[in-house]
Amino acid sequence: MSRDFDVRRYRTLFPALSRQVGDRAAVFLDGPGGSQVPSRVIEAVARYLSCTNANCGGDFATSVESDALLEGARKAVADLLGTGDPGTVSFGANMTTLTLALARAFSRIWGKDDEVLVTRLDHDANVSPWVQAARDAGARVRHVEIRREDCTLDLADLGSKLGPRTRLLAFGCASNATGTITPIRRIIEMAHEAGALVFLDAVHYAPHALMDVEAWDCDFLACSAYKFFGPHVGILYGKRDLLESLPVYKLRPASDALPHRWETGTLCHEGIAGTTEAIEYLACLGGDQDPAAASRRSALRAAFRAIGDYERSLSLRMLEGLARIRGLRLYGIADSPRLGERTPTFAFTLERRSPREVASLLAARGIFVWSGNFYALPLTEALGVEPDGLVRAGLLHYNTAGEIDTFVEALERIR
């Protein structure tokens, strides 16, 4: 049974949220670019560097402890992703770096008769790596269009472009610019029916909803811990047979066995320690909501159920507030009955003000938002808002209704 969501208590666990800008409390609406972290994550990073710092594979205490830490981290991430095989979890610098490595592997097996599908809704980290890999292989790239009226993926266009030559479909679980959540399982089924593999970008989705790679039946997924309350660490999941068979660039002494096959060089052990604690923080939040949760996965399920309910209430308040501002144009889903199809991330323009100007004026008031294209360049190009881009304000479960009111009031004054 879920309990009331005590946002004020959770906020006390994040030291950054007490920051002041002048005499104002800082309002962190920059979450889509990177979340703040709870104290336990900071302490885990410091503890590793203070007590356990070593490379792997040694017989001495700190190396043995580092090996155990990495093994435990893979199990924690496997629980977060929804796989029973921790060996299918690889760590790296970030989602972009891991995606480039995977794309480079595919470039060695694609040919001139092959096709790759990417979408206009995605972050460029899930577009350019595949475009470059296809170029190197002589393969063809096709772009799936969006429905501009609500910034959703055009599934009819996707269906028309999937075919027997499609080798890979790369798409995002959620747009980092407009918050649009894609129908993940349905799209994967469409791709698999055509005989194509699927790569998911779950970076923006991960702090808002529970990933489930086995239920989705995706072939690959990448995300970044710094978006779900952890340090700067990238995560790659792939089905075991695919990760074992793809040709990978690696050093000669490096193990060819999973998970090390895709991990180049020494990993950021302290960041991985922090990643485990970020997952444990979410599991503890889930335990608050459902004390009967019998496993970390079930606790995470309870956590994201509560986070989703709370964030939808924030989204409703934000949509109502933005609708009152004359001259503001919102890009994305704006209908309250469709809150389940979006994350609480909002992209907009304001009449007679450039996005950069709006972000700068908000920053002076202690309100942190982003402006530009947020690397979602395929989307901002499709929307025709380049070169200025958009203003983006994103909420996470540590934000409050009062912060939304402060933000909306500030926008009204700026207008």
Q: What is the pLDDT of residues 359-410, one digit of tens each?
A: 999 999 999 999 999 999 999 999 999 999 999 999 999 999 999 999 999 9
Q: What is the pLDDT of residue 2?
A: 52
Tell whether the model's pLDDT for residue 253 goes beyond 90.
Answer: no
The pTM is what? 0.97
Q: What is the pLDDT of residues 262-312, one digit of tens each?
A: 999 999 999 999 999 999 999 999 999 999 999 999 999 999 999 999 999
Phi, psi for 357 (deg, rounded to 5): -65, -45
Q: What is the pLDDT of residue 385?
A: 97
Q: What DSSP string runs through 205-272?
A: TTTTS---HHHHT-SEEEEEGGGTTS-S-EEEEE-HHHHHHS-----TTS--STTGGG--S---HHHH
Q: Map out the domains of the chain as residue ranges.
A: 7-37+297-414, 43-278
Q: Which residues contact 373 (CB under 8 A, 6 or more apart)?
A: 177, 379, 380, 386, 389, 390
- CA torsion angle 344 345 351 354 (round to 10): 150
Tell whether the model's pLDDT for residue 257 goes beyond 50.
Answer: yes
Tell whether the model's pLDDT for residue 29 goes beyond 50.
Answer: yes
Q: Which residues contact 399 (CB under 8 A, 6 or more apart)?
A: 7, 28, 29, 31, 314, 344
Q: What is the pLDDT of residues 43-96, one digit of tens each?
A: 999 999 999 999 999 999 999 999 999 999 999 999 999 999 999 999 999 999
Average pLDDT over residues 24-41: 98
CA 281 to CA 359: how far, in whole Å?
Answer: 31
Fold of 7-37+297-414: Aspartate Aminotransferase, domain 1 (3.90.1150)
Q: What is the pLDDT of residues 179-219, one digit of tens each?
A: 999 999 999 999 999 999 999 999 999 999 999 999 999 99
Would you say domain 43-278 falls under CATH 3.40.640.10?
yes
Tell whether the model's pLDDT for residue 233 goes beyond 60.
Answer: yes
- For residue 274, the SS3 value is helix
User: Given pLDDT bands bounded at 50, 70 and 90, which one contains residue 342?
Assistant: very high
Is there a contact between 118 and 127 (Cβ–Cβ < 8 Å)? Answer: yes
Q: What is the pLDDT of residue 4?
A: 87
Average pLDDT over residues 239-264: 93
Beta-bridge mates of residue 180: 342
Tell whether the model's pLDDT for residue 3 goes beyond 80.
Answer: no
Q: HSE (CB half, 13 Å, CA atoms) of 288?
A: 17
Mean of pLDDT over the chain = 97
User: Given pLDDT bands bounded at 50, 70 and 90, which one contains residue 254?
Assistant: confident
Q: 9 burial class (0-12, 13-18, 19+ CB within 10 angstroms)?
A: exposed
